[in-house]
Amino acid sequence: MKRPIGVTLISYLSIFGIAALISTTFFFNQIANKFGFAEKLGLSDFPEELFRVLLAIVTLIVIYGYMNLKPWGFWLMVSYCISLGTISYLIILSNNKRLFIGNFVWSSIVFIYSIAIHKSFFNEKHTQKIKFVK
- Nearest CA to 70 among 118, 121, 117? 121
- Please give the Cα distance from 115 to 6 (Å, whole number): 12
Q: Are residues 34 and 99 in contact, defined by beta-carbon separation less than 8 angstroms?
A: no
Q: What is the pLDDT of residues 105-130, one digit of tens each?
A: 999 999 999 999 988 888 765 545 55
User: Model's pTM, two decimal places?
Assistant: 0.79
Q: Is the pLDDT of residue 97 over 80?
A: no
Q: Is the pLDDT of residue 134 over 70?
A: no
